[in-house]
Amino acid sequence: MATFRKYEFTPTQWATAKAKIETADTEGNTSWDASKVIAVVELGKLCTEWGTNEEGQPVCLKESSKISVDILWADQPGTTSFSSYVIWPEPCGIHVFSGWEAQYAKDYCEANPDTAYCQPPAPVEP
């Protein structure tokens, strides 16, 4: 079964990890290894602190030093070397693979059962 996970790497860590899920043709052109991944989205260095400009528009004041990457694995997450880079931002954040919103939310709550997101509101008595 395919699996969607979010990761965060330093640039060097991502270069090493990326090589494990790429394949090259005879001319040296690389692509994602379809036997391992369905899709990869390199989100880059995400904003960690927001402010506003003179017009009140949001502007990034500080960005992460790490690269965020979303991977839709062909099966379970490929290599165990990726597991130490998994992050669990609250669903679904900056990016989600279309159709994977519910599965990510389920996996998020299994990994983070005590977060507010995963606690249903108490019923309101009339």
SS3 string, 91-107, reads CCCCCCCCCCHHHHHHH
pTM reported for the whole predicted model: 0.85
The predicted pLDDT at position 20 comes to 92
CA-nearest of 84, 47, 89 to 64 is 47
The predicted pLDDT at position 79 comes to 62
Q: Tens-of-pLDDT digits for all 126 residues of the chain?
A: 889 999 999 999 999 999 999 999 889 899 999 999 999 999 999 999 999 999 999 999 999 999 999 999 998 775 668 999 999 999 977 899 999 999 999 999 999 999 999 988 878 777
Whether 8 and 17 have beta carbons less than 8 Å apart is answered as no
